[in-house]
Amino acid sequence: MRALVKTEAGPGLELREVAQPVIGINDVLVRVHKTGICGTDLHIASWDTWAAKTITPPLIVGHEFVGEIVAVGSNVADFHPGDLVSGEGHVVCGRCRHCLAGRRHLCANTIGLGVGRDGAFAEFVSIPMTNVWHHWPGVDEEVAAIFDPFGNAVHTALAFPVLGEDVLVSGAGPIGLMATAVVRHAGARFVVVSEPNAYRRDLALRMGATAVVDPLARDLRDVQSELRMVEGFDVALEMSGNAAALRSAIANMAHGGGIAILGIPTAEISLDVNEIVFKMLTLRGIYGREMYETWYKMTVMLQSGLDIRPAITHRFSFRDHDAAFAAARSGDSGKVIMSWVE
């Protein structure tokens, strides 16, 4: 089969002919239809410090996908060839305290698809049956391809109650964009999106933002007064990984507010803890998705009218992976999809 492989420790990815994965008794084999490019894939491709200390080549990259089951292991009873599925990208241990308690998203021994084991940028991928999400008939395959990052967005967006609340979204990358639509769907009053990139600010408006702001040009306080907000944001979703964005969120929160932090900073961030204490804020780290409560919520929200399709801006064949990665890296893009069927 053809696969996009990190062949050696250094920059670049190579489209290669490799052996089809062999499945174990608890696994399913999926013929990949479509995949989404994630920031993680960009880090691995460019071979930054994180990638150099995390990745052992050779490795097939990628973890956002949709495809059709073509074979199942002998222990697998619930899934069948022909099923349209996506995969949860975190393979958990199943044996730690949290896994045993059913809190698999808290597993401390998670292995990432396309990070710690061969991934989905390939014609076929093998995943454990415990990682399969079966889609309903008629699901949009492009949307199904990005259930993994959509799950990040939903898990973060619903970390605090948003019904009737004023929400700040910092960072309108693909995940911030989807989260904007989710908090809107979940009944937020104002959704203010802070993002330096103009292309992405426009997309945020299409996703349902009440107002967008360039944090390099304007203070969030001005936006608050324009909207006649009085006490600050009730909920903030930190989706940029940027230190200034986190500080600005803290500075603009209402007393008792909640900040869900998904963005991954590249260095330590110093914070004025006094603000957190005296505003009685709750800061909550978010990693991955809840297995499988988030997946359930994604599905039912799509079925009840949530539309995340405007966040998908670019489509390529896997053959044009260089152009696809360039589009994802440019910043002037939302989600970039690669198709693995011709």
Rounded to an integer, what distance in angstroms lies between the CA atom of residue 123 and that of residue 101?
Answer: 35
Q: How many residues does the chain have?
A: 342
Nearer to Zn ion, 107 or 144 (CB): 107
Find all residues with CB under 8 Å of 274, minimum gap 6, and list them.
none
Compute the least distance from the CB of residue 100 to Zn ion, in Å: 8
Q: Which stretch binds Zn ion (CB under 5 A): 109-117, 168-176, 244-252, 302-310?
A: 109-117
Do the Cβ atoms of 53 and 16 come closer than 8 Å? no
Rounded to an integer, what distance in angstroms lies between the CA atom of residue 197 and that of residue 112?
Answer: 29
Nearer to ligand NAD, 264 or 280 (CB): 264
Mapping DSSP onto H, E and C, the string for 161-225 reads CCCCCCEEEECCCHHHHHHHHHHHHCCCCCEEEECCCHHHHHHHHHCCCCEEECCCCCCHHHHHH
Is 40 noted as a catalytic residue in this protein? yes
CA 169 from chain centre, in angstroms, equals 15
| 96 interface partner picked from ligand NAD, Zn ion, none, CB below 5 to 8 A per type | Zn ion
Is 43 noted as a catalytic residue in this protein? yes
x/- binding map, residues 154-193, to ligand NAD, per CB under 6 A?
A: ----------------xxxxxxx-----------------
87 binds ligand NAD (CB under 6 A): no
Tokens found for residue 114: 């396309």
Nearer to Zn ion, 234 or 290 (CB): 290
Choice among 33, 35, 40, 313 that is catalytic: 40
Compute the least distance from the CB of residue 133 to ligand NAD, in Å: 17
Residue of 126, 224, 242, 313 interacting with ligand NAD (CB under 6 A): 242
Q: Which of 340, 329, 332 is nearest to 37 (CA)?
A: 329
Residues labelled catalytic = 40, 43
Which residues are at the interface with ligand NAD (CB under 6 A)? 39, 152, 170-176, 194-197, 200, 215, 239-242, 244-245, 262-264, 286-288
